[in-house]
Structure 1
């Protein structure tokens, strides 16, 4: 399957596409292994289980636990416009991606150091240091996305759904290993020793990634795009949204789907207490999320390549509804773990469908810009969602929060059906 953007690029710059196609197999393997190896660190610093577990040891306030996913989404999505600006006008992206990747490891190291400092300072001080360290990790994790995605859009010239499914699957296998390791540590060692081992191991595995990135193969983009001043770059956002109705409709429906994460940080912690499950159940919950991301990642890529990614967004909107339903009526462990399955399915769709939709919608020379605009504008919704979730718990109850998740899922499904563009690909 060849995307609309690649067909346009072939008609204008066939030599460039032919050259990148000659690197296809090498970059496919390198990109897949880079993304999947880093998945170990991402799973070890999960915003839904591991870091909330750490925060729960430091405070009993639900809204502070909600800060963890809020910080992750804020750091991951909002700075992407800056990341897009920094790669705008660059004919090559690898050098920028490599620099940010090295900085990412600094964020992982800071989280490990904070865990090491537990007991030497007050819980309040450790909590502040943890949230700051996690913010640095999240910001660097997001800053790399526009340049990395732009590189993928030029390197993976065909079968992108399969590529993202394969990458997601391989990352899920490695993330599954991370969750098994987490389960072993949480089950056999006391806090904070269990998290100290986990975080330092995550750092050790993550340093492999920059070595792989340094060996990516790239050709300079044939069109020279003049870099814009930051002010001009930001002021041009409304113009790009207005002149691309497919893009604006996609963003609106995608933002509402993003609101569906408002309960993700609370499902595991709440049901662990109500069902009297051990701490190790958090690692199992995380494990199921990662397995589901792997398995459904392949399925979402296959569906997207053949029937369009809009179909996937409809399915995962219904997954959000089911998260809330199982959250309200979870009376047995299998219902608790089913929530993790639905969360994993939604995460897989975001990882696979978001870039592929934008690759199709955006001009080929502006891929990074459009990814930055989308993620920066969707980011505030996903940042506020877990904070809203925490307030609903503190002011009302977990049940009210879970009913709200059901409501958001229904609205998301209706908006995806009525607003989101439906784009088909041609077979190569």
Structure 2
């Protein structure tokens, strides 16, 4: 088999495997249910989400430095992924022995292991992005990621059904043991995919040797040296703020239109449909017209969502706004980090990706926290207005970035 074709197929399988693995270890569904069965407090449940973000932030400088010093990255990524997933497998094995006898201890063990798991997530951006940049041509990345996400999402529908069956038919805590075990096994198989990739060309090794705190001092220097990259990060920050409203559409519909379970299910259906069709459509646009245009169109969808939800007063408008914001998020996830590669020196791709991830993650966490307070004290309208403004801001910036 042709080497580039082999790598393309393996990278395509990686998307499918990873999406389905994380369906079984979902921070939005399976993990909250598991902690609820352990009688965890609301704080402990929310702490799981905090650890997911915090772990990634803490290790970004470390993995960026490692990636910048490695001419070959595949073997290192495989080792890190196996270590991450084997350690989490040890937690899964402990569930039948600890969960029923000592729920409080199980909560502590889970949060500790989940925190360690997410410390390793910091390697995904710096190492994975560099490997994609080397093994997949620029003209193929959009369709590869778009089609991979779409197929993975279709299969994930079946994974979600299986999770429901296991939760219902298998006794606690063995149901969660099996669910988490399936997820970890798929993740281990996913790590093995990278082992079979071949023909990795050596990268230029960065001359800059950054310590942990020097990493943060280096960020302003990067922005001063590369104004275009500063614009990209600003545009991506607007994107993250424009799409964080996805967390509030269903709550807004419940409070304003008093909808029930059947109407709530429509949001899930829309999310799945948009994720499948949006990834295919935007992946083709990215390859044919460029990732900048894909991001520009996606930002416009976010801007349009804000206008619709603010000006049209019915439940259909909420569904449409949710679909458009989902499409905005889909395009951002697909193209933002690939577009960064175009504005990065080859020897500094890992740190450029890392800087973008860190800044956007911090901004989205802060805005998400503040928006919750604003909604409780005032209403949803200020949040929707912010979505409209930041959606337009991202659109304007990516339009200005036209080469």
| Deviation of the 1:162 alpha carbon | 1.3
Q: For 2:215 and 2:339, locate their aligned partners in 1 and report how far apart those are by CA, in whole Å.
A: 22
| 1:207 partner SS | helix
| Deviation of the 1:98 alpha carbon | 0.7
> 1:262–1:163: structure 2 CA closer, same or farther, 3 Å change rule?
closer
Alignment of structure 1 residues 147-166 onto 2, 5 Å? 147-157=127-137, 158-166=139-147
- Does residue 382 (structure 1) correspond to residue 364 (structure 2)? The answer is yes
The aligned residue for residue 261 of structure 2 is 277
Contact conserved, 2:84 with 2:120, CA < 8 A, in 1? yes
For structure 1, which segment, 363-372 or 100-109, has the greater mean C-alpha deviation from structure 2 after superposition? 100-109
Return the match for 2:384 from 396, 400, 406.
406
| Deviation of the 1:312 alpha carbon | 3.4
Contact conserved, 1:319 with 1:342, CA < 8 A, in 2? yes
| Deviation of the 1:29 alpha carbon | 0.8
Contact conserved, 1:249 with 1:421, CA < 8 A, in 2? no
Q: For 1:49 and 1:329, locate their aligned partners in 2 and report how far apart those are by CA, in whole Å.
A: 28
The aligned residue for residue 361 of structure 1 is 343
> 1:337–1:129: structure 2 CA closer, same or farther, 3 Å change rule?
farther
| Deviation of the 1:122 alpha carbon | 4.0
Any stretches of 5+ residues in structure 1 without a counterpart?
1-21
Q: For 1:31 and 1:323, locate their aligned partners in 2 and report how far apart those are by CA, in whole Å.
A: 37
Alignment of structure 1 residues 388-399 onto 2, 5 Å? 388=370, 391=373, 395-396=376-377
The aligned residue for residue 24 of structure 1 is 4
| Deviation of the 1:387 alpha carbon | 3.7
| Deviation of the 1:369 alpha carbon | 1.5
| Deviation of the 1:316 alpha carbon | 4.5
For structure 1, which segment, 72-81 or 291-300, has the greater mean C-alpha deviation from structure 2 after superposition? 72-81
| Deviation of the 1:355 alpha carbon | 1.6
The aligned residue for residue 213 of structure 1 is 194
Q: For 1:51 and 1:324, locate their aligned partners in 2 and report how far apart those are by CA, in whole Å.
A: 31
> 1:294–1:201: structure 2 CA closer, same or farther, 3 Å change rule?
same
> 1:323–1:184: structure 2 CA closer, same or farther, 3 Å change rule?
farther
| 2:101 partner SS | coil
Return the match for 2:177 from 179, 189, 196.
196
Once the two structures are superposed, what CA deviation does each residue of 1:316-365 show, in whole Å capped at 9, x if it has no partner? Answer: 52476489779x965xxx99987875565344223211122101111222
> 1:217–1:181: structure 2 CA closer, same or farther, 3 Å change rule?
same
- Does residue 105 (structure 1) correspond to residue 90 (structure 2)? The answer is no
For structure 1, which segment, 335-344 or 405-414, has the greater mean C-alpha deviation from structure 2 after superposition? 335-344
Q: For 1:362 and 1:68, locate their aligned partners in 2 and report how far apart those are by CA, in whole Å.
A: 33
Q: For 2:132 and 2:239, locate their aligned partners in 1 and report how far apart those are by CA, in whole Å.
A: 24
The aligned residue for residue 228 of structure 2 is 246
- Higher RCO, 1 vs 2 (CA within 8 Å, ≥6 residues apart): 1
| Deviation of the 1:261 alpha carbon | 5.5
- Does residue 313 (structure 1) correspond to residue 298 (structure 2)? The answer is yes
Q: For 1:349 and 1:156, locate their aligned partners in 2 and report how far apart those are by CA, in whole Å.
A: 19
Q: For 2:34 and 2:240, locate their aligned partners in 1 and report how far apart those are by CA, in whole Å.
A: 25
The aligned residue for residue 185 of structure 1 is 166
Contact conserved, 1:77 with 1:378, CA < 8 A, in 2? no
The aligned residue for residue 19 of structure 2 is 39
Return the match for 1:145 from 104, 125, 133.
125
Contact conserved, 2:203 with 2:347, CA < 8 A, in 1? no
For structure 1, which segment, 228-237 or 411-420, has the greater mean C-alpha deviation from structure 2 after superposition? 228-237
Contact conserved, 1:310 with 1:422, CA < 8 A, in 2? no
- Does residue 350 (structure 1) correspond to residue 328 (structure 2)? The answer is no
Q: For 2:27 and 2:90, locate their aligned partners in 1 and report how far apart those are by CA, in whole Å.
A: 16
> 1:335–1:177: structure 2 CA closer, same or farther, 3 Å change rule?
farther
Contact conserved, 2:242 with 2:388, CA < 8 A, in 1? no
- Does residue 173 (structure 1) correspond to residue 157 (structure 2)? The answer is no
Contact conserved, 1:289 with 1:344, CA < 8 A, in 2? yes
The aligned residue for residue 113 of structure 2 is 133
The aligned residue for residue 48 of structure 1 is 28
Contact conserved, 1:78 with 1:379, CA < 8 A, in 2? no
